[in-house]
Amino acid sequence: MKSRNKILDKIRDILGMGPSDPKDPFAYEGPEGEGEKAVENNSNIAEFEYRYIGSIGANSHSYHVKFDEPAVFTLEGMQYPFGEVSMEIDENTAAQIAALYKKHNLRRWNGYDRTARHVLDGDGFTLKIKFRDGKDLRAHGSNAFPRGYREFRDEMREIFNPLVAQIVERENKKIIERGVTGNMTSMLVNFIQKGNSGRDEYKIFVLSPDLREKNCDVNIVSDSGTFFEKGKLSLYVTLSDTPAFFAKVDGLIKKYDIMQWYGWEKAAEDYNNEEWFQVNFSYEGGDINAHGTLHPANYDVFREELIRLIKDELSERGLLSENEDANE
């Protein structure tokens, strides 16, 4: 342990961080907040705002509630394509959110501002609560969290998750109604069989040729021999006349109304024995994305026709024979 601390001290000295605490080589920095000496604010809550800061920004999102009549919940997050959106919430839900302050003794967190500066990745949070008497509570942590944070976070999520689901469903319906416009610019397709569903894997990525010269990346493991000969197929080539190919794919999308899949993200009950899929069809105006092990309407027939189309297009261009020659 002593030799390890010496190494850590050397690293911290180089980084200008000062010596480490022998009992805690990765000590946190910053105030821990008022703690038990904090006085509880018995004024009604006017606003509640929680922000989660994800790893390198991933999944960062915020929940904001303004306790007017009616109370209004606002959601914003990097994973949501619709920007900042709001919805009214009922009195019972608003009361549950307000009750978090006293139930989890959040008064203790006021002034908490801790950071583990040596950590280059990770996550964090910011909490702000405004009271009717004009006072507020503020707490922030970067890879550092106050006592009781996990319990607070878990209960808070139980309250907010149904609200988030309602907003996402509502906004996704709007996007589906608008549809996509313009020409297709890229296509990403993954069909990965798991467990009892089989061992086939289809991974296809195609871009417009003006974005990349070698615009077609295909990796297939054909265990069943259903669409391709048994074995592995790997291509990184230029797919000529891409607009014509995209037009055919777009025809299948319209034929089976794949726009309805937008935002699909569902897992089958027996997900370890179902094929996992991911599709992303990007257009000049909008995109269609979906993934999961629970399959949406028209999944099987669309999947079959799409894979057959891809095989025919590769074959017509002589790309399959080129791959066979390369493997000989």
Report if residue 90 sits inside a domain. Answer: yes
Percentage of the chain exceeding pLDDT 70 = 88
Return the CATH number at 172.
Answer: 3.30.1560
- The more confidently predicted of residues 33 and 8 is 33
Q: Specify if 15 maps to a domain.
A: no
Residue 25 is predicted with a pLDDT of: 45
Q: Mean pLDDT over residues 281-307, rounded?
A: 97
108, 241: one domain: no
Range of the domain at 321: 182-327
Could you say which of 159, 177, 195 is where a domain stops?
177
Q: Are residues 314 and 272 in the same domain?
A: yes
Residue 274 banded pLDDT, cuts 50, 70, 90:
very high
Do 118 and 208 belong to one domain? no
Same-domain check for residues 170 and 204: no
Task: Assess whether pLDDT exceeds 50 at residue 84.
Answer: yes
pLDDT tens-digit map of 85-125: 999 999 999 999 999 999 999 999 999 999 987 777 788 99
Q: What is the pLDDT of residues 211-229, one digit of tens each?
A: 888 999 999 999 999 999 9
Q: Work out how many domains the chain is built from and give that number.
A: 2
Summary mean pLDDT of the chain: 90
Average the pLDDT over 21-47 and give the result: 82
Confidence of residue 185 (pLDDT cuts 50, 70, 90): very high
Comparing CA positions, the residue from 226, 206, 225, 230 lying closest to residue 216 is 206
163 and 230 share one domain = no
Per cent of the chain over pLDDT 90 is 77
Token pair recorded at residue 318: 């002589």
Do 245 and 136 fall within a single domain? no
List the strands of the sheet with 71-77, edge to edge.
Answer: 85-89, 71-77, 61-66, 45-53, 124-131, 136-142, 113-115
- Residue 255 covered by a domain: yes
Residue 42 placed within a domain:
yes
Q: How far apart are the first and last CA of the chain?
A: 56
Residue after which a domain boundary falls, among 157, 177, 197: 177
